Every structure is written in structure tokens, then in C-alpha cells.
Structure 1
């Protein structure tokens, strides 16, 4: 069904309405919203009033992918990424290659419709992971952060390696030439390293420009633009746009506190959270809505047999991940020990969880839909509709099946942590920062006798903050904590009085709405600053 421009606005509003409604449902059910969005899209696709909406690959690759990849990289700790780099590379490159070859030959063995070449294309298409559902569950249940870091790092890099694998395998079919292993590795290295260099260069130029600007709106606009610039520049220069975006995001994320002004730092999380939510919501909803168009392409081939085949391919993909992850984790540990001299053990139950977290998402389907419809000689691209259908089955089985069972797996492995575990690094850093500030105030107080009371007042505030940082090794001073907590309660009550006073001034027309909103914002920032984060 063709949508003209007059219906486009209504369609976008309806899609956003569905996104909001399904997100509310996901919160009520306590399930990751990607799963609910996909299932909701599946249900909607069978309703007669809903038009057929094709998920165009260019929409995913050129509109959705750059900001989502950039945001994920931007929020990734460079130190943790670097420490887990070997494990991430084993998954993002080693497992991708293993999946391509494994699915290629297993697909040809089990399904006569697939040659080994089209099987390799299918393996490349389903090799990319989308860990949004997995990591949201993992963070909610408080599993070790190293598992989350590895899953997120894998998803960042294998978007690039998987799409490069798709390009290689499609090239085998369209050109009829199978490159040598050395040639393929050289091309992979060139595309990946070229993307990284371009991404870092653009990040450096961006940092030089944005550092001179102290206007939050301009800074945020430039930050929203930079992932598209990095991606499109790398693609135009025939390197990896995803690797360029990842490198750009990692660099700017590592330096953001130095580059962004105070206003931009305060507003940036809200802006990016909204962008991520809308884009993820739309693409996962559209993913579910694709079932009608996917079925239309294979309805003459025997749907029942193809569904059974899709389930079989899904099992093969999951099994290949398990076969790779355990020896891959051991190899990564040995390589890391050889180069760093440090050996960090990872338990088998944690490795199992990493293996179970390999869910597929919208990038896999976009890669399948981007396959050419015909070969250079005019013949139809072999088994294209079958590859698209099998990819859709893999996404459903891994995203919904593994996603819904992920909490059960975490709890039965004993990796779920009850309650909020304190961040020891953060507490150590806060104690160091506060103690250094107190030492500075004490030294300045002796030099500036005339303002002694000012220094003492500020010092008392810092000591109250120090009191809120519990440290079992130093023992608990109940009366000190009780006093500190009472301080927070009194301060919160006083701020409520301020709110009431501001409301009365607004109601009596002594101040306007803009002044009122600014006053309330200042109070809200204080509330956020002294929230439960520092409560005992």
C-alpha cells in the first residue's frame, strides 16, 4: 500500500502513539520494551486497518543506525571497553566468521533451497546481535558489570563486522569470485581501520569546534549531527561507517565532560534518551509489522516447512554461539594474560549467560532486506525471500524466546543480586574528592582568618556528605548518620516551603511563569543532587 504525503503525518502520529502505549505496557509487565514492541507489531500487522509499512534498509542504515551506535559508544566506558577488548573482538570478529561459515554449510546441508554461497549470505545476515533487551534485563537484575560490558561491546563492533560479512558474501554471488582468505582479511582490516581513522579524525575536528562554543542548543545540535557526518563520510570513502561512528562515539564520550558546557552536560542525557527511545521504539515496532510483507514473499513455497526451517536455523545460530563462546573465552583470557600479565577469571556460568545473550534485532532484518533483488546478469538473487524469512524467524526466536527466559536464566545461575549493590569505585572516588576538598578548606581557613566562618560552613556541608558514604571497613556511626539523614529531611522540607512560596507568588501575579519555572528548576536540581543516591 502506497502512503501519500497527506497520510504520512497521521501514520507517524499513530506509530508514535503505539510506541508510547506499548512502552507503558512493557513497564506494567516488567519486560524489556523491544520484546513488547516486536510482539505488538506482530499483532498489529494482522489487523485490517493497519497499512503495510515496508521497513526500508536505507531508513535503518542512514537514519536509525548512526545515532543509536553513536549513543551506545558515547555511553561506553573506554577503560572497561579496553580491558574487555580481547573478549569483545573474539565475539565481534571470531564469532561472526564462525557463524557465517557454520550457518552457510549447515543451511546448505539441511535446506536444498540454499547453496553454500546463499547459506554464507544467511550466516552473515544473522551474525549481528542487538543486546538492548539483554542488557536492560541484566542491569535491572544487577549481574556483574563485566558481562554487560562484553555484550554491549560485542554489539557495537559486530554491527560493523556483520555488515562487512554481508558485503563479502553478496560479492561472492554477484561476482562469482571467491576471494582468498588473505585477501578477505586484508580487505576487512582496510575497511575497519579506515573507518576508525575517519571516525577519530571527525571526532577530533568536532572537539576543536565544540570546545569554543558555550551555547547548549548549538552544542547539542552539533552532537546530534556528528554521528551522521562520521557514518556518511566513511561510507563515501568506502570504509566502514559503523566503525567510524563507534570510534567517534568512544572518543567524544571519553572527553565529553571536558568538551561540553555545563548547560549541555545537563541537557544532553534527556535529549539522547528521548532520541534513543523514539528510534528504538519505531524500528522494533516496524520490525513486528514486517510479518505480512515477509510472508507475502514466500507464500507459494510452503509456509509450514519454511517455519520449521526457520526454527531449525535459529537453533543452529544459538548452538554455534555456544560452541564458540566457551573456548573463545578461554582463548581471550590466555591472550590477555600474555600481553598484560594479568589473569582475570570468568566463571562458566557467566560465559553461559554471554552465550544466551546473543539476541538478534533490526540490523539483521535490515541487512536481509538490503540484499539485491537481481544479479548483474538480470537473474533474480537466489533464495532472497527465504533468507529474509529465516532471518525474521531467528530474530523472533532469539529476541522473544531468549529475551523472555533471560531473567529466569540469570536467577537460576545465581547471578541476580538482590537490592542495589553500591558502586565501590564511585564511593572510593567520592571519599577521595571530598577529603581533598576538606583539606583545601582547612588550609585556606588558616590563611583567610577574616572569612573563617565561611570556610567552616562549607566544610560542615562536605563532612555531612562524607557521613552519607557508608564504609563497613570504617565502622558505622549511627548517630552521625542519623544526624546527616535528618539534615537531608529538613533541607527537603525547606525546599518544599520554597515551592509553596513560589506558587503563591505566581498565583498572585507577582512573578511570571518563566521566572516561576526557573525557580522551580533550581529547587528540582537540588532535590536531584541530594536524592536517594546519598541516602544511608
Structure 2
């Protein structure tokens, strides 16, 4: 391992350069990274890369899921819970069934159980790829919220299907009531363990004398503890990380200090940047290892099977997107729905086309054992499943990844946006917060403000008459008053976010909360 350290170090530098290039030419960086990995794998003398599935499931997956849970808006996730749940569970199951039927019919030697195993592997779309593409184009925030929510949960549902299919292949039978009990435990146990561990971390960081460095390290440790604890009792580690991450994310202002929140954001952005870059390059680098095990079937036939499965995945997802719209239009006559408007054919087409597959699928395929049990017969079709998975990932990234921006611009999906433009929302929120702040000052600190040039300057700023405040030397008493006012602003924003029927999405409110954190940190550092 140590002799290959310079190679991996240069790989990280190459990832940075490739992502810079991707931003320059406005191409989703996962596409470039996979292609670069493929090209690098053909260079003579390059170390052979073998992806250990445990490396993905234990090292990469927990922090990436945890960061996604912190970034997503719980309010938007709850608002779109029906369609998110349908895509993350129902559509994943339908996709797995469709792949199973097609594989059983068209691929020689594939039983339904093996087809279901393949379906569980390739059914979950990759969130990183979709988010990397969507940042170059304008889409309705409702659509991005749905895609973010789906990506949090579909890995869990696909891995549950994968586990059941593995048991069916190994034992040759499927006992439905045992499967139902196992499924219930995976879901309930995973969510429960994640919430419990998240609560313990939250209380520990709130009451123990931690500093910003300790808090940041604990946030890195937390997803691993959640994942391993859940997997240790055979429940869903993915759901544990997601549920625990959502709990901590929505209570971040109750147990993390200002410094911890600011530094944590910077550390996590750098960490996920490196992890996401590495996993996509590793996909491309693993091609020689994947093709070397392909025996008993020609390369052209294996590629054909991979393209067939890819077509099934694309068609099923698009049909499911239109089916979800149809169900929503019918359901709105009987129950409240998040958005009762008819999106037409455009929005479902875009959601259906955002089905790029990624590293979770490859890790699941790699985790298939070479033997059904120790000392037993070889696992049937393992190498072909692995190759088909690779073709699915490569094809969806190249075809859908490169055409999605063009599709979105061509059909003008932005016309369906259901949010006020960001600049208007920011201005409206600033005015409302300024009005609240001035009222709070008048009720509580009017006399103090008259005596302090610094607070008078701040007062004029909130009235919109001046720009940024100057670095005037302030006393401890004035600093304390100003920090109390900032804290009241923070409470007002958090309360505003919990209200229903307002114009502000949670991401906008979080930007203003970050500005308050930065201002508080600046004041604390003033001497």
C-alpha cells in the first residue's frame, strides 16, 4: 500500500484539475472522473486497483449520506414525502422486478432470483451525479428537493432488496413472512438506532466541555458509529445514518457553538469533495479487474446485456415519473398534496432522465461473494453481474449525464418554478428581520443604544441607511448586548422556518443563519 502512496496522491491532484476542467466546460464532474479513471487504467505500469466493497460501505458511504442529510431541508423532505417515498421505495422495487423479469428472459442462465439480485444492485440512482449536473442549469426547487430526498433513501431500499435476493440465491427459497419481518426490522431498527445514537451525540456535545475541533471530529465519527451499530444488529445502516443525520441537522443550533458550526461546514465540504472525487475515479480504474473475470460469455454479448438492462432502467423510471404524476392528480381530489398543479409532460421527463447510477451499485456488485458459502460452489453469474453493473454506470453517466443539461434547457423546465426568485426572497427576508430587530431594540435596549456609537451604527445599518459596520472598539457590556440581539435574530429565523405558508425555503434561511454566525464570530474575536 505504502509504495502506491505517490500514485494516490497524484490521483487527488488529478481529481482537482479534472473538476476544475468540468466546471470550465460545464460538464458534470462524475462523467469526466469516470472517463479519466478508464484512461488511466490503460496506462502501462499503473497499479491495479481493486475496490474493496467494505471500503465503499464503511469508509465512503456513511459520511456522504450524513453530509447529504445535513444539507437537505427537512421541511421540503416532509412536504414532498409521498413522491419521495414512492421513488425511494416503490419505484426502486418496481425497477428491481422489471430487471429481474427481463434478465430471466433474455440472459442465459439467469434465474428470477439472480435477476432480482441484479435489479437490487442497479436500481438506486446516484445523487452526486444528478446534483453535479443540476448546478449548471435552473430547475424548480421542488424538483431538486424531490431528487435530494429520493437520494437519501433509495440506497437503503435497494440494499434491502439486495440482501433478500442474496438469501434467495444462496438458499433457493424465499419465505415471505421471514422476509417481511426482516424488512420491518431493517427499517424500524435502522431508524431507531440512528435516532438514538444521534440523540446521544447531541446531548454529549451540548453538555460536555467540547470546543470547535472536538465537535468537528465528533461529527465525523457520528455517521460511522450509526452505520456500524445498525449493521451490527442486521438493520439498515443507511437509514441509521440518514435518520441520525436529519436529527442532528435540525437541532444544530441547540448543541453546536457558532465556531463549531462554521468550522464544521468548511471541513465537511473539503471531506465530501475528496470522497466524491475518489469514488468516481475508482469506478473507471476498476475496469481491468472487472473485465478480467468475465468468462463464459463474449465481451460483445456482455455489453449487449448491460445496454439492455440500462434501457429497462431508463424506461421504468420515466414511466414511474409519469405514473407518480397521475397518482398525484387523482389523489388531490381526496387528500391534500404538496402541489396540485398539473406539471404536464416536462417535469416527469426530467425526473425520469436523472437516473444516473454510481458507486453504491458497484460496491453492492463487488460485495457478492465468489462462493455461495465457504468451500461451496461458485456464486452463479457473479462476474457477469459485475460487468453489467459497470456498463449500466458508465452508460447512464455518459448518455444521461451529458444530455440532461441540454434536455432541461430545451424544454424550459424553469418555467415551472414554484418559488420566488432568490434575490427577491433575500430582500424580503432582510426587511422582515430588520423590522423585527428594530422592534426588539426599541422594547429592550433603547437606552443602551443611545450611549453606544457602535450600536447606533448597527441600528442605522438595519434601518438600511448605511452599509457594513466599522470596527469600532466596544466594551464587554455592549458586546454582550449585541450578541444577545444576534441570538434573537437567530431564534426569529428558526421560528420563521418552522412556520407554514411563508415564502422562504429553508436553504435561504440557512444562508442568513450562517451570516449571523459569521457576524457573531467576528464580534467575539474583536478586542
Of 116, 130, 133 in structure 2, the residue corresponding to residue 134 of structure 1 is 130
- Separation (CA, whole Å) in 2 of partners of 1:441 and 1:314: 61
- Separation (CA, whole Å) in 1 of partners of 2:148 and 2:342: 17
Cα pair distance change 1:11/1:267, threshold 3 Å: same
* SS of aligned partner of 1:220: helix
Of 356, 362, 367 in structure 1, the residue corresponding to residue 353 of structure 2 is 356
The TM-score with structure 2 as length reference comes to 0.84
- In the alignment, is the contact (CA less than 8 A) between 2:12 and 2:278 conserved in 1? yes
**Larger Rg, first or second structure (1 or 2):** 1
- In the alignment, is the contact (CA less than 8 A) between 1:442 and 1:455 conserved in 2? no
Of 38, 49, 57 in structure 2, the residue corresponding to residue 42 of structure 1 is 38
1:415 aligns with 2:410: no
1:208 aligns with 2:206: no
Question: Deviations for 1:480-534, whole angstroms, at most 9, x for unmatched residues?
Answer: xxxx6xx46xx89x99xxxxxxxxxxxxxxxxxxxxxxxxxxxxx67x99xxxxx
* SS of aligned partner of 1:406: helix
Of 8, 12, 18 in structure 2, the residue corresponding to residue 16 of structure 1 is 12
- In the alignment, is the contact (CA less than 8 A) between 1:445 and 1:451 conserved in 2? no
The TM-score with structure 1 as length reference comes to 0.82
- In the alignment, is the contact (CA less than 8 A) between 2:295 and 2:383 conserved in 1? no
Cα pair distance change 1:207/1:381, threshold 3 Å: same
* SS of aligned partner of 2:50: coil
Of 376, 379, 385 in structure 2, the residue corresponding to residue 378 of structure 1 is 376
- In the alignment, is the contact (CA less than 8 A) between 1:441 and 1:455 conserved in 2? no
Q: Gaps (5+ residues) in structure 1?
A: 468-483, 496-524, 530-536
- Separation (CA, whole Å) in 1 of partners of 2:86 and 2:54: 29
- Separation (CA, whole Å) in 2 of partners of 1:169 and 1:449: 69
Deviation of 1:382 after TM superposition, in Å, equals 0.8
- 1:487-506 aligned at under 5 Å gives the runs 487=467
Greater shift, 232-241 or 255-264, is seen at 255-264
Count of residues in correspondence between the two structures: 471
1:116 aligns with 2:112: yes
Name the counterpart of 2:395: 397
Question: Deviations for 1:86-124, whole angstroms, at most 9, x for unmatched residues?
Answer: 111101110111011100011111212322221111111
Cα pair distance change 1:175/1:299, threshold 3 Å: closer
* SS of aligned partner of 2:463: helix
Deviation of 1:290 after TM superposition, in Å, equals 1.2
Greater shift, 449-458 or 345-354, is seen at 449-458
Deviation of 1:441 after TM superposition, in Å, equals 2.5
Name the counterpart of 1:320: 316
Cα pair distance change 1:301/1:143, threshold 3 Å: same
Name the counterpart of 2:462: 462
Deviation of 1:192 after TM superposition, in Å, equals 0.8
Question: Deviations for 1:217-272, whole angstroms, at most 9, x for unmatched residues?
Answer: 00000000000000000011111000000001111111112221111111111100
Name the counterpart of 1:387: 385
1:56 aligns with 2:52: yes
Name the counterpart of 2:307: 311
- Separation (CA, whole Å) in 2 of partners of 1:143 and 1:47: 39
Cα pair distance change 1:442/1:337, threshold 3 Å: farther
Question: Deviations for 1:424-482, whole angstroms, at most 9, x for unmatched residues?
Answer: 55444332221111122334565558628665433211112xx7xxxxxxxxxxxxxxx
* SS of aligned partner of 1:49: coil
Name the counterpart of 2:264: 268
Name the counterpart of 2:481: none
